[in-house]
């Protein structure tokens, strides 16, 4: 259609196709068909240009216009449900090809020249998100499209293999041992490097309250890292900018404290008492990482700068797997940029503008509609086109602001706290995010929710930023001057003359606002505002005004507030508390119930405060600035004798010939005062011990002894060179007072430099005249000016890392060894690399580590590993090990590009999926599983239901031999019937160990805290692999007791009723839930099943795995001539018609009327092929039904990524029970692992076979398989010893994975009691009663 509209011939190559593309890109009906056509034409064009090696004149203006417009569409569509939509992926691939085309046109004669985005594409276009992403794809694609010729992959592997040549590029930095107190900064030059790896030696030690800083800039702002005690053997990686990184020693600050009450663990410290009156350092969180902190009565959440989220307190409000008294990471699918906490809920806003919620949806608090249930972390159905820029939650309400300034709210509105009305009438609850649509002409700048009210700063068209409010006003919390609730967001008349508010925060019934000038306004409940009664309009806080304190930020909670202010005179930040303080939540003495005036906590008086937070009720947090930035540490407690400024900010100058007068840098710029300043001064940048230092002083008459002639007209110090830049110093010369042979110029001395002197707090002599070389000033001992610590200091090795630009530098410098490495790698092929990946994967599995991490270890391969691999036998082991670095790099690049691949797309010729498929054999299983996990976690939708299960009914029916053909009485059938009444798409939880429903076992007095749920899963698996259900049947190998895998069950090809289809779909749902939650299904299914689920073609080996007898018969028929049977005698020996038997024993015809047609010698191959095909396809229909259910829970794209082996493990877990692995994840109560009974227990468990170990797990945990890795244990295996009693059985608590073991007298008695328990104890029965409750069957069409 677009071709016709533009009148362009579809075969035309050139600007025409680009103009056509312009229309296609902007077409709202863009389909993959049109897109593939367009990509095809574009690729054909690009390949033609590249093939002819000719430059083509192309007008990209139209495309640039299109890119700018589609960039908005792309950004809104690029992570819907956590993945790129087909249209966004298509856009990206079009841009990718355009860039490839343009590079071809621009770099025809220079194929290895990299694209300069801004220069070649234009700055405006180059900064578009779609272009940046496309460039990223473009660079990675270039490396992966030909991995055996990629210089980037090869060079990365060479550097990772740590060749001797690279040692010359590394740096070793040593501080003085012991080192000096006070911060120092050293510059480390690393030419052409992109990153630097810092590794601290075994000896490295620093003072406990200090840290070592690493950063990309001297001010500790870019890519800053902090290394705290103990630092020995620690490794950090830092970005290199302008060929340099910086090491900061002797740094302080970077502390994170909590104080107050911690009944629910919301302080993040593991203390026994409920109150924490003194601030406690939380070492697990570094303050420079904190971006935001929010909390409420039951929980606290921290957002870090890198997008990670940590939380403590109640898990139901945070998304943690369990309650925690210490901060633990919350597993959010993407990086987070905003957080908000309500009373019982939390929101996370991700970088892609998705909104996730967790907690209770009471009154619509989460915006999830009518349900009031608690929910695990899930995606909220609110997808605005504009970015969410602010979000705040009160007790039951949440309001957010978009970048267009609109406000949207959800939750409780009983007190009009949302300001959402229907006409003029209030609405009690709002259950989905709804716009406050009456605020035309006003733009939200800030928003803050209190308990039952909301405050906002809104900006009008004139730029006035004023306070607005809605909601409860009983104590003046809405600031409207009355006690009546404010139904709609309304201007606060009492402060309408103030038009430059920039900050607002609200607590239970009080608020604080701050203006551009730092004026602090308070209102609300009297304790928090310092008055005898409530303050009903915003009023400037008098104490702060009178004492010269300017507001920086504040935080309000329950009848109190904390303020971060800056002193006008000293410019130092200080923290103050006011209001209710009896639980220590203001870090003030608790003898006073409430403070009516701001009071500074003694603990924080000498701290460099960064920010403060109070969370609702009784918890407080303060974190400090890292004192690394020279601007924060170069403050000298002296007065400038020229300008009068005090303290002196920046370098300090001391006039030793004028009784130690001190000057600032600004003072020395005062030209009128220069004659008053001596030509020799001391120059000091570092902070030193003022009480200890006594400056050297000389009589002014001796000055001429130390200076020579004046500078010439060029103002240069000829005869001197700066040790750093090697230039002649101009205007000023600085000589190291401790090393008189070392001199610096004016610019170098004021910046960190490379060399040992930078690690010492050095004093310099500053000359503005030539020094007298005949008479030098005396050396100064730095110990007289700065104390030494009692610690060793640091010994750190810095290894540079390189990207493509650094590789060019290395290739020129180390051409010979790199050429040698290239030749060594040339022996490797795809086939050899596949073998290496298989061996590496096997080794990693044996060691329970990742393949990627194994590469860094020495001696991975042994001769035994490769002796059976002919192609590997002649390659040295050392070379095989080097090759692994290339495989690691390939996997690293796949991780980077995977988010752009549309795995669900048609596998067209031009899609990235083709690239993935081509290199798939070289991708580690763990990489594939991580990709699959990312896709799975992108969709979350959970609505938990309650199911009542009558196990005794199921048991009675099974004993009678009844087959539950319609899914009515078996446990599988009972759960299926109840689950099918709801949408399966609501059974998509996010977290490991999440339960999709609650189980009530009738007449068993069970309380489902996890045990009954797991038991139900085990029971359903037992039903599936029994005669109780018609869905699975024993394989012919099992029935005939022949061949391998005789324990397997396979699909019943005879189960074809409509109800069977629904039951198979539910079976698929359970498989999907197992993948999501790691509640593994104890299923023994053959390889053909897993291959068909993964869309892989089964073969004869898969048929052999289920029906060895048939395969043998087919082999005999196909190769019967080996038994001297020919065409004449074939029918005498083989009496076979064109029929075969399916797995259930049903006979079917292979061709029309096949039961009447004899198989002949000539047609025997046709017969064999037909049997194999029919048997491999016998369960296609049932498999498709299972996949329908599975795809409701797991995105279909996942199954194009993972192997059938990985899929089986993801659903069924590892069939082997590793006792040592279980022991590693065990904790003991009231005993330890050396207790005699405990030793006896582990000996017993190791003596059990896999079936008995599986039964033990089921008895103790309700599961039959262990998790795959340590992190998957949501509960540790817990053992408690109870009284000695040889008659007593062990007791289990499946909800808590706990086993109570009597102290048995002998090993044999323990084994006997455990075997009795694990084989017979299946009921969850606490009251001793059993019974049958009538289960009302529903009417169902079909046959029993």
Q: What's the pLDDT at 164?
A: 86
The tens digit of pLDDT for each residue in 353-385 reads 889 999 988 889 999 887 766 677 888 888 888
Rounded to 5 degrees, what angle do the CA atoms 1206, 1207, 1213 make?
Answer: 80
Name every residue whose Cβ is closer than 8 Å to that of residue 123 and which is 6 or more positions away in sequence.
Answer: none
Please say if the pLDDT value at position 13 is more than 60: no
Which of 271-275, 704-708, 1326-1330 ranks highest by mean pLDDT? 704-708
CB contact at 8 A, 589 and 624: no
Query: What's the pLDDT at 38?
Result: 56
**Banded model confidence at residue 64, pLDDT cuts 50, 70, 90:** low
Distance CA 82, CA 122 (A): 30
Cα–Cα distance, 268 to 280 (Å, whole number):
10
CB 319 within 8 A of CB 991: yes
DSSP state of 1049: E
pLDDT of residue 721: 94
CA atoms within 13 A on the CB side of 601: 30
Half-sphere exposure of 1054 (CA within 13 A, CB side): 13
pLDDT for 77 beyond 70: no
Residue 804 · residue 136 · CB < 8 Å? no
Q: What was the pLDDT predicted at 872?
A: 82
> Which residue from 923, 924, 1013 is spatially nearest to 1324, judged by alpha carbons?
1013
What pLDDT band is residue 482 in, cutting at 50, 70 and 90?
confident
Q: Tell me the longest C-alpha to C-alpha distance in the chain.
A: 132
**Residues paired with residue 205 on neighbouring β-strands, in sequence order:** 793
- Which pair of structure tokens corresponds to residue 262? 């911690």
pLDDT digits (tens, 9 = 90+) for 696-728: 788 877 788 888 889 998 999 999 999 988 999
Phi-psi region of 105 (alpha: psi -120 to 50; beta: other; left: phi over 0): alpha
Between the CA of residue 1036 and those of 226, 732, 1087, what are the distances in Å?
63, 95, 14
Among 138-142, 515-519, 752-756, 959-963, the least confident range:
138-142
Contact 315, 321 (CB under 8 A): yes
Closest CA to 622 of 635, 612, 631: 612
Residue 175 near residue 793 (C-beta atoms within 8 A): yes
Pairing label, strands 374-379, 355-360: antiparallel
Which range is least confidently modeled, 77-86, 455-464, 944-953?
A: 77-86
Q: Does 1155 have pLDDT greater than 60?
A: yes
Number of helices and strands in the chain (H, E): 39, 58
Nearest 5°: the CA angle 115, 116, 122 is 120
Length of the chain: 1344
Structure tokens at 162: 């740590």
The pLDDT confidence band at residue 1201, using thresholds 50, 70 and 90, is: confident
- What does the pLDDT read at residue 601? 94
Classify 1313 as helix, strand or coil. helix
Alpha-carbon distance of 943 to 854, in angstroms, equals 41
- Chain-wide mean pLDDT for the chain? 82
CA 96, 98, 101, 105 torsion-angle sign: negative
Residue of 263 and 50 predicted with greater confidence: 263
Q: What is residue 1148's predicted lDDT score, i.e. its pLDDT?
A: 93
- What does the radius of gyration of the chain's CA atoms come to, in whole angstroms? 37
pLDDT digit string, tens, across residues 1259-1313? 887 666 676 566 656 678 889 888 888 888 998 887 678 899 999 999 999 999 9
Task: Evaluate if residue 185 carries a pLDDT over 60.
Answer: yes
- pLDDT at residue 1323 above 50? no
pLDDT single digits (tens) 521-579: 999 998 888 777 889 999 999 999 999 999 999 999 988 999 999 999 888 899 999 99
Helix, strand, coil % in the chain, rounded to nearest 5: 35, 25, 45
Q: Is 77 exposed, middle or buried (0-12, 13-18, 19+ CB in 10 A)?
A: middle
pLDDT at position 1087 over 80? yes
Which of these ranges, 215-224, 988-997, 1169-1178, 1290-1299, has the smallest mean pLDDT? 988-997
Indicate if the pLDDT at residue 457 is higher than 70: yes
Q: pLDDT tens-digit profile of 1218-1263? A: 788 888 888 888 788 888 999 999 999 988 877 788 788 878 876 6
Closest listed residue to residue 552, CA positions, set 497, 625, 636: 625
- Which residue shows structure tokens 């596998």? 907
Q: What is the mean pLDDT of residues 1080-1084?
A: 86
The predicted structure's pLDDT at residue 1271 = 60
């Amino acid at each position: 259609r677009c071709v016709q509209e533009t009148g362009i011939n579809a075969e035309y190559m050139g600007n025409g196709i680009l103009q056509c593309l312009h229309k296609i890109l902007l077409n709202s009906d863009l389909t993959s068909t049109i897109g593939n056509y367009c990509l095809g034409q574009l690729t054909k064009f690009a390949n033609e240009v590249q093939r002819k090696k000719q430059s083509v004149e192309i007008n990209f203006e139209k495309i640039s216009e299109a890119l700018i417009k589609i960039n908005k569409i792309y950004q809104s569509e690029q992570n819907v449900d956590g993945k790129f939509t087909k249209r966004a992926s298509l856009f990206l691939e079009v841009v990718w090809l355009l860039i490839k085309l343009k590079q071809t046109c621009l770099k025809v004669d220079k194929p290895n020249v990299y694209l300069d985005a801004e220069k070649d594409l234009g700055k405006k276009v180059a900064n578009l998100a779609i272009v940046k992403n496309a460039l990223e794809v473009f660079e990675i694609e270039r490396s992966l499209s030909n991995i055996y010729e990629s210089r980037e992959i090869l060079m990365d592997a060479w550097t990772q293999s740590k060749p001797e040549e690279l040692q010359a590029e590394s740096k070793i930095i040593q501080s003085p041992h012991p080192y000096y107190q006070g911060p120092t900064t050293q510059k480390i030059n690393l030419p052409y490097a992109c990153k630097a790896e810092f590794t601290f030696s075994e000896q490295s030690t620093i003072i406990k309250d200090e840290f070592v800083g690493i950063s990309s800039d001297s001010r500790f702002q870019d890519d800053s890292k902090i290394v705290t005690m103990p630092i020995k053997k620690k490794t950090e990686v830092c970005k290199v900018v302008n060929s340099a990184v910086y090491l900061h020693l002797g740094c302080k600050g970077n502390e994170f404290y909590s104080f107050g009450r911690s009944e629910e663990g919301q302080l993040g410290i593991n203390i026994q008492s409920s109150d924490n009156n003194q601030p406690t350092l939380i070492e697990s969180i570094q303050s420079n990482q904190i971006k935001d902190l929010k909390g409420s009565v039951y929980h606290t959440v921290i957002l870090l700068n890198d997008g990670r989220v940590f939380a403590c307190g109640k898990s139901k409000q945070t998304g943690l797997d369990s309650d925690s008294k210490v901060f633990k990471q919350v597993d959010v699918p993407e990086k987070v940029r905003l957080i908000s906490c309500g009373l019982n809920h939390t929101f996370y806003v991700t970088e892609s503008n998705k909104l996730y919620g967790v907690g209770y949806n009471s009154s619509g608090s989460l915006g999830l509609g009518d349900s009031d249930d608690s929910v695990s972390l899930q995606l909220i159905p609110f997808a605005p086109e504009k970015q969410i820029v602010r979000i705040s939650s009160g007790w039951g309400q949440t309001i957010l602001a978009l970048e267009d300034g609109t406000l949207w709210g959800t939750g409780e509105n009983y007190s009009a706290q949302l300001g959402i009305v229907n006409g003029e009438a209030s609405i009690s609850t709002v259950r989905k995010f709804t716009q406050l649509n009456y605020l035309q002409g006003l733009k939200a700048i800030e928003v803050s929710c209190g308990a039952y009210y909301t405050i906002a700063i809104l900006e009008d068209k004139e730029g006035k930023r004023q306070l607005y409010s809605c909601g409860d006003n009983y104590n003046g919390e809405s600031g409207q001057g009355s006690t009546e609730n404010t139904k709609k967001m309304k201007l606060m008349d009492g402060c309408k003359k103030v038009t430059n508010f920039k900050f607002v925060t609200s607590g239970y019934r009080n608020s604080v606002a701050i203006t551009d000038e730092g004026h602090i306004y308070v209102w609300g409940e009297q304790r928090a505002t310092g008055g005898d009664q409530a303050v009903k309009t915003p009023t400037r806080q008098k104490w702060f005004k009178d004492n010269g304190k300017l507001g920086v930020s504040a935080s309000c909670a329950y009848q109190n507030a904390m303020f971060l202010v800056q002193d006008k005179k000293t410019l130092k930040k200080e923290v103050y508390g006011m209001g209710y303080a009896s639980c220590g939540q203001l870090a003030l003495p608790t003898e006073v119930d409430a403070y009516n005036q701001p009071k500074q906590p003694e603990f924080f008086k000498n701290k460099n405060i960064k920010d403060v937070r109070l969370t609702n009720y009784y918890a407080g947090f303060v974190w400090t600035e890292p004192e690394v930035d020279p601007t924060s540490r170069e403050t000298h407690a002296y007065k400038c004798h020229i300008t009068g400024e005090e303290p002196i900010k920046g370098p300090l100058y001391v006039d030793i010939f004028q009784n130690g007068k001190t000057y600032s840098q600004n003072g020395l710029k005062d030209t009128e005062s220069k004659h008053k300043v001596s030509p020799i001064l001391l120059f000091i940048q570092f902070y030193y011990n003022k009480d200890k230092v006594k400056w050297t002083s000389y009589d002014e008459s001796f000055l001429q002894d130390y200076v020579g002639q004046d500078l010439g007209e060029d103002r240069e110090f000829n005869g001197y060179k700066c040790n750093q830049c090697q230039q002649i110093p101009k205007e000023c010369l600085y000589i190291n007072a401790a090393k008189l042979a070392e001199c610096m110029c004016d610019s170098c001395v004021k910046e960190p430099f490379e060399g040992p002197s930078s690690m010492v707090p050095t004093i310099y002599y500053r000359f503005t005249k030539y020094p007298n070389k005949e008479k030098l000033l005396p050396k100064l001992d730095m110990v007289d000016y700065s104390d030494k610590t009692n610690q060793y200091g640091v010994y750190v090795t810095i290894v540079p890392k390189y990207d493509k630009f650094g590789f060019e530098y290395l290739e020129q410098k180390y051409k010979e060894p790199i050429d040698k490495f290239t030749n060594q790698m040339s022996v490797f092929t795809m086939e050899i690399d596949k073998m290496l990946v298989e061996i590496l994967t096997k080794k990693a599995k044996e060691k329970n580590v990742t393949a990627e991490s194994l590469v860094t270890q020495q001696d991975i391969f042994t001769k035994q590993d490769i002796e059976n691999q002919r192609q590997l036998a002649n390659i040295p082991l050392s070379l095989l090990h080097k090759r692994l670095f290339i495989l690691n790099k390939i996997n690293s690049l796949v991780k980077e590009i995977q988010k752009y691949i549309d795995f669900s797309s048609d596998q067209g010729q031009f899609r990235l999926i083709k690239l993935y498929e081509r290199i798939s054999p070289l991708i580690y299983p763990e990489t594939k599983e991580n990709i699959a996990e990312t896709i799975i976690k992108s969709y979350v939708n959970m609505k938990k239901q309650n199911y009542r299960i009558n196990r005794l009914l199921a048991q009675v029916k099974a004993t009678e031999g009844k087959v539950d053909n319609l899914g009515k009485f078996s446990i599988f059938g009972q759960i299926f019937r109840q689950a099918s009444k709801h949408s399966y798409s609501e059974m998509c939880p996010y977290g490991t160990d999440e339960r999709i429903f609650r189980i009530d076992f009738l007449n068993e007095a069970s309380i489902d805290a996890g045990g009954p749920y797991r038991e139900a899963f085990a029971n359903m698996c037992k039903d599936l692999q029994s005669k109780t259900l018609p869905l699975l049947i024993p394989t012919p190998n099992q029935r005939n007791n022949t061949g391998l895998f005789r324990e397997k069950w396979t699909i019943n090809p005879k189960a074809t009723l409509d109800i069977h289809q629904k039951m198979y779909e539910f079976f698929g749902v359970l498989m999907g839930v197992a993948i999501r939650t790691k509640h593994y299904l104890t299923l023994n299914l053959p390889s053909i099943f897993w291959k068909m689920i993964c869309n892989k073609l089964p073969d004869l080996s898969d048929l052999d795995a289920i029906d060895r007898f048939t395969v043998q018969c087919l082999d005999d028929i196909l190769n019967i001539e080996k038994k001297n049977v020919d065409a004449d005698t074939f029918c005498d020996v083989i009496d076979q018609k064109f029929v075969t038997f399916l797995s259930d024993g049903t006979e079917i015809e292979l061709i029309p009327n096949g039961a009447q047609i004899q198989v002949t010698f000539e047609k025997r191959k046709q017969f064999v092929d037909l049997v194999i095909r029919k048997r491999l396809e016998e369960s296609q229909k049932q498999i498709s039904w299972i996949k329908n259910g599975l795809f409701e829970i797991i995105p279909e794209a996942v199954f194009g990524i993972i192997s059938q082996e990985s899929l089986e493990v993801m659903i069924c877990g590892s069939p082997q029970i590793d006792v040592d692995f279980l022991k590693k994840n065990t904790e003991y109560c009231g005993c330890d692992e050396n207790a005699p009974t405990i030793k006896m227990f582990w000996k017993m468990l190791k003596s059990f076979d896999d079936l008995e170990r599986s039964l033990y797990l089921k008895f103790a945990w309700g599961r039959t398989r262990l998790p795959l890795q340590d992190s998957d244990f949501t509960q540790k295996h817990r053992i408690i010893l109870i009284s000695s009693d040889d008659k007593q059985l062990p007791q289990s608590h499946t909800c808590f994975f706990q086993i109570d073991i009597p102290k048995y007298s002998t090993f044999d008695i323990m084994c006997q009691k455990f075997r009795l328990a694990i084989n017979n104890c299946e009921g969850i029965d606490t009251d001793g009663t059993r019974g049958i409750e009538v289960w009302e069957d529903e009417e169902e069409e079909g046959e029993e």
